[in-house]
Amino acid sequence: MDRRDLLRLLAAASALPFLPRPADATSLGRLLHRTAALLPRVLTPDQHQLVSALADLILPRTDTPGATDVGVTPFIDGLLADWFPEDERHQFLAGLDQLDRRAVQQYRGSFPTLDPDTQLAFAATLDGVEGAPGSAEASFARLKELTVYGYFTSKTVARDILQDPVIPGRFEGCVPWQ
């Protein structure tokens, strides 16, 4: 990372609380994708597999790329490392661990090792249920938000699926009043 990238990242970080438009959140998301590390910094290897399995369950590969195809897991790990306050990070990770323990208790296997139908049935028990901070339900809800955010701010999705124009619209400098 060179000095200019660091300054851009710091400027984006300082502006985060004041973001008024979704376009700014999109720009921030794309910056985070470019700076996401390939190796997990916060997630343990088991948590990394769990997040990948859940992200692919939330946004699976169809005729378009899935969540892990566009790098959502490293994106989430980067958010946890650089953007989450420590208490929120611990609550999120505790909820992920609770989610996996519950899968082991109910299905006798860690969530990533379960067959897809069982994963879907288990995730359905968590979806839409409001849980306390640090619970499996709260972490699943937060993971859904982060997965969708990471997916739609990825370069692949923006370029190939959403097809955002580089310059939206056209410039008309001198338009007479009507």
Q: What pLDDT score was predicted for residue 173?
A: 72
Please provide residue 102's backbone torsions phi and psi, each rounded to the nearest 5 degrees. -65, -40
Q: Output the pLDDT for position 24.
A: 62
Model confidence, pTM: 0.72
Digit-coded pLDDT (tens) for 78-87 = 899 888 999 9
CA distances from 89 to 5, 10, 43, 81 (A): 25, 20, 10, 8
Angle at 129 between CA 128 and CA 135, to 5 degrees: 125
Give the integer Cα–Cα distance in Å for 120 and 125.
9
Per-residue pLDDT tens digits for 29-60: 666 666 655 566 889 999 999 999 999 999 99
Q: Which pLDDT tens digit goes with each residue over 99-132?
A: 999 999 999 999 999 999 999 999 999 998 988 9
